[in-house]
Structure 1
Amino acid sequence: MKVKQSIEKIPGGMMVVPLLLGALINTVAPDLLRIGNFTQALFVDGATTLIALFLLCAGSQINIRSFGVSFGKGFTLLLVKWIFGGLVGAIIYVLAGGPEGLFLGLAPIAVIAAMTNSNGGLYVALAGQYGKSEDKAAYSVLAMNDGPLFTMLTLSVVGAMGVQSGYFSITAFVGVLLPILIGFVLGNIDEDIRTFLGKGSDMLIPAFAFALGMNISFTSILEGGLPGVVLGVLVVLVTGITGYWTFKLFKWNPLVGAAEGSTAGNAVATPAAIAAASSAFAYNVELATVQVAASVVTTAILLPIFIGFLAKRLEKKGQLPEEARQQA
């Protein structure tokens, strides 16, 4: 029975399916797995620990030895994704009136998390289809936006988590970032450790997704579903288009620039990680988690279609890059 294969056919399936399964159990029979000991520790209360371990594994995949054109492309996309995605998130934050508010049903933390994280697997697949090997190699830099780091940076810029605002402390900030930094150091001092920890990332995603789901009800999913889809469309249009035009400005393959217009599956864990660092964001953490999950699915479906449309448009103008012509 090909369970894993079937789940992977669903965009973001290894994150979304366990999350929804956990939410279903929590809605229908909330006490089923709340029986104490190892069962409850893993399936209900284990999200924070599992996310911390995931962050350590993700940190180990950030390769310090990234140079040349690949580094330039990766760093440019990383910066564009953060600046424009963070700008939209900051605007939503202000319009919502703070971390506990909503704007058009969207939680500010969900918008910032979805906008500043990108689906590395989807980027590599699209870069491989429409770009060169150096475009795929840029992922070693883009991996830096996996997790809560750039969400935290955005919140710090808008003052939401600044020390002066009373929302945040240096100790809490270090507590979230330390697993990433430890993983980064381990992965760069030993290639075997990077390979070993890299395998853990994939395994941990469905584990912490289920635990997150066990703390979400379908009521919140119904509340956050449609705004989450809208959020996904915004991610594609805002960060995909800005990446496209930035790469075009530098005379690089613009289709590869647009390939950054997605939300990472592991971004679903970001609201919980931020709430752990700042209680001010705990109020909307369930809703934000669901909205980010909806954005993951939406961008996974919409982005390849959007890039295909852009490729056809470039082909009609006679501007399609050589490496992308066979795919048009």
Structure 2
Amino acid sequence: MRIKAGLERIPGGMMVVPLLLAATLNTFAPNLLRIGNFTEALFVNGAGTLIALFLLATGAQINVKSFGVSVGKGATLLGIKWIVGAAVGLIAYLFAGDNGLWLGLAPIAIIAAMTNSNGGLFVALVGQYGNKEDRASYSLLALNDGPFLTMVALSIFGAMGFVDGMFSIQSFIAVLLPILVGMVLGNLDEEMRVFLDQGSSMLIPFFAFALGMGIDFGAIVAGGLTGILLGVMTVLFTGTAGYFVFKAFKWNPIVGAAEGSTAGNAVATPAAIAAANASFSQYAELATVQVAASTVTTAILLPLFIAFLVKRLEKKGYAFKQGNVIKVDS
């Protein structure tokens, strides 16, 4: 049975198939793999550890002379994500009805969902289609974790002020450190760089499966059509913006599109904002289920959107070689 070849025929298959399989299990038989010990540690709770190891292996492939490229790409991704999310959120505020909603969506749900990206999903997609600098760009993109950037947008709109304690430099360093450790090892020893490179691709389907075990399709039902709409908007607006900005910079546009998702931790953002400013409390519950639905929707839709973009590039005569998009015909 040619499992690997079959997965590789599906765009993003090494990530998409394990993720959807795990999400299906988690929705309909959530306790099947939650039996403790090694099984649960690997297949349910292993995403964080496996992604950290993937980032370390990726960091080992980075030459210190090219690290600035990764920082530039990460800053660009971070900026695109925030600008698009804040802009759509502002439109929602300007055109909201008497009930404070726009298209049935709470503006804080829009900002929370669109400014916060799923790091695991980004790493999985870029691990398949990007190069080592693209993967390392996540070290800066991780700054959008949590409610901080959502609150920055709201403060600019005059809706609320800055709130202390919403951004942790310690959390940012904790994301960056595995990459830096890998960089040190790879730059000190070429053999260590080669050794770590051999295992990086192998990790993708395993942490994708563990990510899927955190997805419950029931969140789509709870969030309703408005939550699904928010997920679709997040993929199309932020993903498309990332695609064209990266294309303009002559970088791999698939990497730009790969940040078009909503992170699971964004679900907690509306409650955090409501706790900081009581004026948002009436929208917190609705915003929470809408963001949760967006999280699940983007986890399913973004890989399909990436597959569409890959096919589109291939039809135009481009190919992916070592994480770079190269024109193969005249």
Task: Give the superposition deviation at 1:320.
Answer: 3.6
Answer yes or no: is the 8 Å Cα contact 2:67–2:133 preserved in 1: no
Counterpart for residue 164 of structure 2: 174
Alignment identity in percent?
59
Answer yes or no: is the 8 Å Cα contact 1:11–1:297 preserved in 2: no
Name stretches of at least 5 consecutive residues in structure 1 with no aligned partner.
19-60, 163-169, 195-204, 210-217
> Secondary structure at the residue paired with 1:176?
coil
Partner Cα distance (1:12, 1:175) in 2: 37
Counterpart for residue 95 of structure 1: 95
Matches within 5 A, 1:1-328: 9-10=22-23, 67-96=67-96, 101-162=100-161, 173-177=163-167, 180-184=168-172, 224-323=223-322
AA matched with 2:92: I
Task: Give the superposition deviation at 1:146.
Answer: 0.6
Task: Give the superposition deviation at 1:297.
Answer: 0.5
Q: 1:74 to 1:8 in 2, by over 3 A?
A: farther
Task: Give the superposition deviation at 1:225.
Answer: 1.5
Task: Give the superposition deviation at 1:250.
Answer: 0.4
Give me the TM-score of the superposition, normalised by structure 1: 0.65
Answer yes or no: is the 8 Å Cα contact 1:263–1:295 preserved in 2: yes
Residues 253-311 of structure 1: per-residue CA shift (max 9 Å, x gap) = 00111001000111001111111111111111111000000000000000111111111
AA matched with 2:77: L
Q: 1:8 to 1:312 in 2, by over 3 A?
A: closer
Partner Cα distance (1:321, 1:95) in 2: 42
> Secondary structure at the residue paired with 1:263?
coil
Give me the TM-score of the superposition, normalised by structure 2: 0.65
Residues 116-175 of structure 1: per-residue CA shift (max 9 Å, x gap) = 00000000000011111111111000000010011011111111114xxxxxxx5xx014
Counterpart for residue 200 of structure 1: none
Answer yes or no: is the 8 Å Cα contact 1:92–1:108 preserved in 2: yes
Residues 44-79 of structure 1: per-residue CA shift (max 9 Å, x gap) = xxxxxxxxxxxxxxxxx9x9x994111111100110
> Secondary structure at the residue paired with 2:318?
coil
Task: Give the superposition deviation at 1:7.
Answer: 9.9
Q: 1:184 to 1:306 in 2, by over 3 A?
A: closer
Partner Cα distance (1:153, 1:313) in 2: 36
Task: Give the superposition deviation at 1:222.
Answer: 6.2
Partner Cα distance (2:20, 2:248) in 1: 39
Task: Give the superposition deviation at 1:319.
Answer: 2.9
The CA RMSD measured in Å over matched residues stands at: 3.9
Task: Give the superposition deviation at 1:181.
Answer: 3.3
Partner Cα distance (2:26, 2:147) in 1: 21
